[in-house]
Structure 1
Amino acid sequence: MSEFPTYDELLQRPFFFCGIGGSGMLPLAQILAGQGAKVAGSDRSRDQGRTSEKFAALEAQGFKLFSQDGSGITSKDQILVASAAVEDTVPEMVRAKELGCLKLTRAELNSILFNTSGAGIAIAGTSGKSTVTGMLGWIMHAAGRGPTIMNGAVMKNFVTEDHPIASAVVGGHSIYVSEVDESDGSIALYRPAVGVLLNVSLDHKSMDELRVLFAEYLHRSRIAAINADDAEALALLPHAKEVITFGIEQEKAQIGIVPGSIADGPIRQAAVVVDRHDGSEHPLVLHMPGRHNLSNALAAIAGAACAGVPVGVAVEALASFAGLARRFDIIGTSRSGVTVIDDFGHNPEKCAATLRTLKSSPGRVIAFFQPHGYGPLRQMGAELAETFARELDADDIAIMCDPVYFGGTVDRNEGTERIIAMITDAGGTAEHIASREECGTRIAQIAQPGDRIVVMGARDDTLTSFARSILSKIDDGAD
């Protein structure tokens, strides 16, 4: 890290974010601005006229936004922040190279802020990171610890009229809560005081690569919270220095659930958390359905315990946790009784958790899925197809459009048709409709009273407005 600026040096330099509206970039821009840095940026989505309300909110918060034509890069003192996926031919990248500007990836910048805080609390794993980051951040906030929180999703508890895109919270410099990403290998940059490991399953990298990355992550953490219900995560326990385990099923987990105490409903659930360090029991109310969210709650409680927050305090805080945008987010119910849900599910494990939650209550499921890229679809396509075929019943239906594509160089030879064929070959019901708009029309046409429609996908903020449009089409059709 020696080649990077120190924390104090960072705040003295102006920043320019290329892709400032991205889910990983926007919270970092908010944190830097909140800590006194001068921040500007550009975004391809803004130039294309997408999610205009988000960019209007950023401008209202004082961010100066430019077209993505290089005009915002004017001084060698600027630090250019861009994701590792941004092409060198993007005008900002070209101009920054001409001027000799320092360039940091999103992960490099976040790791500097994380590692120079008093105590960095990291949340890692293939699935559930944003939810647990939000839960753990809310616990630390409720406990009076004044955390800075870096998340990839909007945390409803922190949304205000002046701060509608609350994917970050600017607190003190002593505690920094952040999800950390294994998909690009950048998890290796972080030195956690507390390292939470949720699960280890296939996503962007092979299992062998993931095992190495997560093992090293645990070894760098001063204390770790590990999911004892996940066999792959538990197998990495010997790499940790000090551990608190959590789990629903594992009876030896230090933070667990009293058997028989789970009451799971369609919009909330209850359980009794047991702290096996002292045998104390703590009734938990969670305003998020699904067994995976109960596991997420235990992860947040265990992570907070690693940071010195009593289990009872953490459980009490979660009773007022409002959840995250696009995480089983109920958009509404039509006049005819069709419920539309917006969800971030995009890999096999996330999609399976969402579909299982839906199938735990009666009603047909219409599952729309927008692949978040051609590369990820090649990497996990077979597992995705298996997930949809396994989790959905014969009367359910999966509808998929072409993968999201916002430009750039990528091999687009293998598309969604292959996934649909695998689902139908396995006995599932699935349709491929290339256009997302036409998918919405089809879904509205086939929706019946009592159906649950879930819109799933990642890396595309317009999916929420798409979900709302389906609800509107259903109501319009009923008029």
Structure 2
Amino acid sequence: MNQDDYFFCGIGGSGMLPLAMIVQAQGGRIEGSDRSRDQGRTPEKFAWLEAHGVTLHPQDGSGVTRAAQTVVATGAIEDTVPDIGAARRAGARIVSRPGLLSQIFNAAPTSIGVAGTSGKSTITGMIAWILHQAGREPTVMNGAVMRNFADADHPFASALIGGRDLFVAEVDESDGSIARYDPTVAVVSNISLDHKSMEELRDLFGGFTARSTTAVLNLDNPETAALAQQMVETGRGDAVVTFALGNATADLSAHDLIPQPTGMRFDLTDRASGQTLPVTLNVPGAHNVANALAALGAVRAIGVPLDHAVAALETFSGIGRRMEVVGTAAGVTVIDDFAHNPDKIAATLKTLHAFDGRLLILFQPHGFGPLKLMKHEFIDGFTGLLRSDDVLLMPEPVYYGGTTDRSVGSEDIASGIRAAGRSAEALPTREACGDRLVDLARPGDRIVVMGARDDTLSTFAAELLERLRASAG
């Protein structure tokens, strides 16, 4: 890095905070701003940043004053943001978050990039824990809190600070930035419609795997299986590690899955050696078995013995907001979950339905754009997965202003689900949904708070639990 004076615009964001900590560990001086701080939201996060040597400013441009600063902005930042205007006036260098992250990632002698529509944060966390337990000292950039590394001093453990020789990162396709990464190991968990058209996604993921030394690919997903076939056809079959549930033709396969209330058991088969190992996970759901296979394939590609990796996985404690149990009150369990696209929602609902109990679901869409793009997929997904006594509640999508097309809203989804015979309601606000959830809840129910890109959802889930406790008292 040419300059060591960095200003992060939106430093409290899930992608910005861990990157800032990594840059700081590599010698950078860190300043930043955030609208959430200016609005008084999540004050504990910003107090933690200040306690860890970060100078914070209002997001009014006052913190960007010198040409020597490198201003780091999200990929979608607009020039109307005061910090960006101030950077241009001061002659400061402006880089995007993906640009800076990929620069650090590509500079590492060994790198693992984790991509895919779903499962990225969990796979990245699993890889981080295995490599940490193996003494490999990885530096890890994740988009969510890795609970194995979280403690009183590191409550926002979405980054792991290690050496410069081994870098692991969650890689995003939604903004096209995946095209910047040149990984030693490319992991692709699955590919499905999310932020871009399938044609665009195929190009992006195809390029990502083509640039890798080894690609770890899921045979259970038609799109990732096609990527594996492409690599075989282009003479790079030896550079592919495949995984699958129940498919013995994959390099790593899982068999005899047994759901547990808080985890999974299965048998792992390594096709090359013929070895079979019993595995116990402390995270639930078949999708987490697939995530574990992806992580095992990635670490094996850089020399971690399979039995050592399996032993480490058995103490993996999960990722924040991935079916995270907030607590139980009045016989009702509150769960906080990041699910926000049809695949993630399906994985969560299938896992929860493995056990008895009605689901009361709050799904807060993370934008009007995804609702319009995936309207039919949301309707079909919820219709197929909601049971007759489940209830879905939706506030309007998160909206931060701008020129977003707001022609498709939550009622469009809810009405489609009702037309198919399931219970779904769209209410104007999240607060109204909270009132309705408390009114509906009865012993044996599970309340699931779903949504992304809004830190206050976790606060909302915790407040629901407190309301339930108060009603029981």
The TM-score range, normalised by the shorter chain, is over 0.9
Could you tell me how far apart the structure 1 residues matched to 2:405 and 2:101 are? 30
Q: Give me the whole-angstrom Cα distance separating, in 2, the residues matched to 1:183 and 1:212.
A: 13
User: Which of 259, 267, 275 is the aligned partner of 2:270?
Assistant: 275
Which residue is 1:4 aligned to? none
Instruction: Tell me the distance in 1 between the aligned counterparts of 2:48 and 2:400.
Output: 22
Task: Specify the alignment match of 1:469 in structure 2.
Answer: 463
Pick from 158, 164, 189 the counterpart of residue 180 of structure 2. Answer: 189
Distance in 2 (alpha carbons) for counterparts of 1:392 and 1:472: 26
1:70 and 2:61 correspond: yes
1:302 to 297, 302, 320: 297
Equivalent pair of 1:229/1:249 in contact (CA under 8 Å): no
The Cα shift of 1:265 comes to 1.4
Confirm or deny that 1:438 pairs with 2:448.
no
Query: CA separation in 1, counterparts of 2:136 and 2:359?
Result: 42
- Which segments of 5 or more consecutive residues in structure 2 lack a partner in the other structure? none
| CA distance in 2: counterparts of 1:415 and 1:47, whole angstroms | 28
> In the TM superposition, what is the alpha-carbon distance from 1:414 to its structure 2 partner?
2.5
Name the stretch that deviates more: 359-368 or 239-248: 239-248
Question: Residues 224-260 of structure 1: CA distance to partner in whole angstroms, max 9, x if unpaired?
Answer: 1101111110011144431111111322011112x33
Whole-angstrom distance in 1 between the partners of 2:406 and 2:31: 33
Q: Which whole-Å deviations, capped at 9, do the CAs of 1:413-467 have from their partners, x for residues lacking one?
A: 3221111111111221101111101111110110011101110000001100101
Rounded Cα–Cα distance in structure 1 between residues aligned with 2:372 and 2:15: 23
Within the candidate set 393, 398, 403, 1:404 is matched to: 398
Among residues 444, 451, 467, which one is paired with 1:457 in the alignment?
A: 451
CA distance in 2, matches of 1:13, 1:36: 7
Within-5 A mapping of 1:163-312: 163-240=154-231, 241=236, 242-257=239-254, 259-260=255-256, 262-312=257-307
Contact kept? 2:18, 2:141, Cα under 8 Å: yes
Number of corresponding residues: 467
Q: Which whole-Å CA distance do the structure 2 matches of 1:361 and 1:308 have between them?
A: 38
Q: CA deviation at 1:409?
A: 3.6
> Is contact 2:64–2:83 with CA below 8 Å preserved after alignment?
yes
- DSSP 3-state at the match of 2:291: helix
Q: How far does the alpha carbon of each residue in 1:106-126 deviate from its partner, in whole angstroms, 9 at most, with x for none?
A: 111110010001111000100
2:264 and 2:286 in contact (8 A); partners too:
no
Cα deviations by residue, 1:342-364 (Å, 9 ceiling, x for unpaired): 00000000000001111110110
Query: Structure 1 stretches (4+) deviating beyond 3 angstroms?
Result: 238-241
TM-score (norm 2): 0.97
Q: 1:306 and 1:329 mapped to 2: Cα distance?
A: 30
Higher mean C-alpha displacement, 151-160 vs 236-245: 236-245
Residues 182 and 211 of structure 2 are in contact (CA less than 8 Å); yes or no, is this contact kept in structure 1? yes
Aligned to 1:341: 335
**In structure 2, what is the equivalent of residue 363 of structure 1?**
357
Q: Contact 2:248–2:271 (CA<8 Å) still a contact in 1?
A: no
Q: Which amino acid aligns with 1:331?
A: V
- Answer whether contact 1:264 1:289 (CA < 8 A) is retained: yes
Distance 1:20 1:377 in 2: 27
Alignment partners' CA distance in 2, 1:250 and 1:105: 41
TM-superposed deviation, 1:412? 2.6
The percentage of aligned residue pairs carrying the same residue is 51
CA contact (8 A) 2:119 2:189 kept: yes
